[in-house]
Structures are given as structure tokens and as C-alpha cells.
Amino acid sequence: MKENNTPMLQVQHLTKHFPAGSHKLVHAVDDVSFSIERGKTLGLVGESGCGKSSCARTVIRIYEPTSGKIFLDGADISALTQKQLLPFRRKMQMIFQDPYASLNARMTVHDIVAEPLRAHNICATRQEEHEMVREMLERVGLNQEHANRYAHEFSGGQRQRVGIARALILRPELVICDEPISALDVSIQAQVVNMLRHFQEELNLTYLFIAHDLSMVRYVSDDVGVMYLGQLVEKCAADEIYAHPLHPYTVGLLSSIPVPNPRLAKEKDGSGLEGDLPSPIDPPSGCRFHTRCPFATERCREEAPAWQEAAPGHFVACHRING
């Protein structure tokens, strides 16, 4: 394997707008830039509707980017046709949120996991395909007997294992995990997270991990990016964001996490976030967070804050921080 220092994924000024009728646009992703080094994990968090899933789907070219560039292992994939993309698709795979909706109910587990192999014409013989699927299923903790069953016969955690097997059978380098654990029970979440971490170490995978569960994100990510209304508002090392959050939105989001400790929980009050996410069709002027920010000033209403490095490796977009 060649040694290289190009980031596995590099996203520059990525923008995705959806038409919303009567010449209006949903600003789902607005000028988002980040990069992920090989073998690392970037966690992307925010409330629902903040554009984190749209961002992931645009990166993997399920959605066409409105503007901006996407580099996969140094190669610009943002303008390729779907046909030209095919060889790159082997390198990037996705794990979806809902293990109930993302597996075809009419296919056996074997067929679901073998489908990527067939799409890319990888196996010359049935025998070879069989062998690869068997091995992959074993690695996610399912056995041969499971291969001939249908998705509805499995629990949520087992289904997510099938989803992981499907994503990893092509030996991708970048895996986009779109809330892979949100639909699972707590005891099962830990199983899946540990499995994802195990595969990362073993196969040197790069993850873009989308979640709204901030406590789990810290546990899986090297870096964390916080999104609000289509924009990145803060990004830094995972531990740093919990220890020294700078953006008022991040602070609010962190204090909203229920604390699994009754002694601490009773003390906290008054913090947290007020109000709801404004509409991404007509995002607020200036800093998009100003409508909910306890520190908003005239300047925040008028002028969008710049993306600046407040401390080494710690980026934030807020007028209160003078870098």
C-alpha cells in the first residue's frame, strides 16, 4: 500500500440547495468545508434539519452538489457522471439509519450482502461469492444459517449488522455512517459502536459519522463538527469540543444531553436551548443562530461571522470569539 498524506475525504465549500416551489430554495448545506485524514473519524452533529444527512448524501453523490468540490483520496469526484463514478463507489459505502427501511424485504440476507459484489462484478464464480459473503457475515457475528433468512426475521441490532456487512464487503476506504445507531436500543448501540471501531482499526477505515447523540459521537470520533441550519459553526478535536465548547449553540446542545446521574441531573436547570430551528428556506440574516442565541447583538443580526481558528485546530464561526 502506498504511503500518502492526502486526506481520505476533502470537502470544499460544498453547497446543496433543494427547490422548494415558487422559486424558493431550501438551503440544506451552505458552504461547508472539512477534511478527514485516512483512518480517522469525523463526527457531524446537530439537530434534525440542520443538514447533516444532506451533507453526507451529497458527499457520496446520492445528491448532486449545487456547488463546491469533493475530493476522495485526492481525486475530484464532484463533477463526475454516475458512470465515471462507478470505480469510486467501491471506495465509499454508506450505512443507513433505519435498519428496517434500508434492507430489501424481498431479498435474503445473502443476496443483500452479495449485491454490491454483483454490482461491481467482483466474483467470477458463485462459489467465490458464497465464500466472501460467508466470511463477511461471520465477521459481523452472523452465521451461515442467517444467510438464507429474510430481514424481517431479525432484530434491529442484527439488521444493522447486515447493513454493516453490506457496506464493508467491498472493502471500502471511506464509510459514511448516517445515524447508524439512533434506531437501536441502548444495549445494542454499544454492540454496534464497538463493532464499527473494531473494523476501523482492522481495515484502517475512514468514517464520516452522522449523529444527534452527542455522548456517543464523542466516543467514536477523532474530530467533531457541529452543524446549524446548513452551516458548520464549530469544529475541533472530539475531547476539546466537550471540554471547551466555544459556540453558544454547541454549549446549549451539550447542556441538553440528559445526564445519567440523578445527583447531577437535579441541579441543572435554566441552561439548554430555547426555541426551535428556524426554516432553512428563509434562514435568518447574519449569524443564523442569532434568533436563539442568548448573546446575540446587533452585529450578529447583520453580519455573518467568519470561520476562524480560535485555538490551534479549533475552528468556530461566532462574533464573540476574537481569534
Closest CB to another protein among 85 and 277?
277
Which of 162, 179, 180 has the alpha carbon at shortest distance from 107? 162
| CA dist 151 → 101, 103, 139, 192 (Å) | 10, 7, 18, 17
Closest CB to another protein among 50 and 246?
50
DSSP helix/strand/coil, 170: coil
Neighbours of 269 (CB within 10 A): 7
Q: How far is the CB of 166 from another protein (least distance, A)?
A: 19
Closest CB to another protein among 260 and 312?
260
The three cell numbers of residue 238 are 472530539
Strands in 231-237's sheet, in edge-to-edge order, are 92-95, 174-178, 206-211, 41-45, 223-228, 231-237, 314-316, 308-311
The three cell numbers of residue 313 are 485546530
Q: How far is the CB of 265 from another protein (least distance, A)?
A: 4
As a whole number of angstroms, the longest Cα–Cα distance in the chain is: 68
Identity (one letter) of the amino acid at 304?
A: A
Q: How far is the CB of 219 from another protein (least distance, A)?
A: 5
Q: How far apart are CA 84 and CA 58, in angstroms?
A: 16
Q: How far is the CB of 151 from another protein (least distance, A)?
A: 15
* Sign of the Cα pseudo-torsion (80, 83, 34, 213, in order): positive
Q: How far is the CB of 185 from another protein (least distance, A)?
A: 4
Closest CB to another protein among 69 and 197?
197
| CA dist 316 → 20, 32, 96, 129, 312 (Å) | 30, 13, 29, 48, 11
The three cell numbers of residue 208 are 464520516
Closest CB to another protein among 72 and 214?
214
List interacting residues with another protein (CB under 8 A). 47-48, 155-158, 185-191, 193-194, 197, 212-216, 218-219, 238-239, 242, 252-253, 255-263, 265, 269, 272-274, 276-277
The four Cα atoms 21, 31, 221, 314 give a dihedral, to 10 degrees, of -140
Closest CB to another protein among 90 and 218?
218
Q: How far apart are CA 2 and CA 42, in angstroms?
A: 23
Closest CB to another protein among 116 and 248?
248
Closest CB to another protein among 135 and 239?
239
Q: How far is the CB of 263 from another protein (least distance, A)?
A: 7
CA angle 5, 60, 116 (to 5 degrees): 100
Q: How far is the CB of 199 from another protein (least distance, A)?
A: 13
Q: How far is the CB of 115 from another protein (least distance, A)?
A: 25
